[in-house]
Chain A
């Protein structure tokens, strides 16, 4: 089921949470809403679910206008950060709940409900725990029950609100992989909210990066990572350093000195963004030379913080065996970079 969000605005007590947001979600796609807290990503998810009503704008499920429909009518699967399981019900009862509350006309027979619930517990690898209560399961197991429960109603769209936010790092990684497998197997259109960029990059077909109630950029993980459209996206996705530069006749300068790379941008001031690993060391004297302030080992590389002229600090990655002693002088230039002209 494809979902179309059209010019949606949402205010809470006059405080705008979303400004005029539009987003097309393709059928069968796994899309991540990514942003810092307060960016409106959860609000957008809850609007799609029908847990909130938009102040203005419309939401379509396929060709059907879902904006005025209640949560119950929308037939969506929703997974909450803190599981929201029914603690007085067994695991099997939790998963069966969505089918059992259906009106008699559309409710499958009891044996059929049980069979389907068992099948789903099998899918989420929890067979054998049917009779347990939620309090007897670990966090990761509870979240899998929550997913099975959401899938039981055969939702048109699956919505997950920070589904792994309350779990520890190890379980998180496992469940991430596993969610991707489930998605590939069941093919549900899935929207999930996260503030963890690593999770979004690894899991999603497409990212929707949000900030302050607006969508900053939508695209595949590669596009968003390699060609960020705004300083916010550059800074939020992946590691980055920024320098205030001026452009003079195609020459990029820092504090009036050329840094050894050129551009076709018109003259003016701009912010130069680059990633710590997209640099190369050079021998000649250039503006981008600084002395090492801190140096720490990050996996296979050495992350070094440089002080340039006492005014700017940037981070660059060096080979781990580089003899970057403290206070030693390093000269470099960015290999790949992006300019965002100041307005």
Chain B
């Protein structure tokens, strides 16, 4: 007589089923007793393809055995790292202040221009403030790392 206690759910794709099964310790040791002989897969009791798939999926997400060793720096290297970070902060601060200065100057420029235009010719001033309905041109490209084969498009056909 063959006693079979194999648990073979049709397709275990949902991880919650997996966990529930693990709790009861049934799927984890899904064993087949055939004539009193214990057959067990090399990988801890997973002997069917769909369960193996879920195990693979879960292990891809889990950190087990995949985390590298902690980065332990000696004092000299730690100081070097801090110096690099400090230099980066100084560098960025300098860039930001420069940008802010230029923006402020550009704003002043626009303001001056408009004030003068108002004095010189109110009509042109009105025209310069008129809101036009226009679309962002499709030909305008975002800069990329490497240029296309023809860097510049000499055709004027509007899209």
The answer to whether A and B interact is no
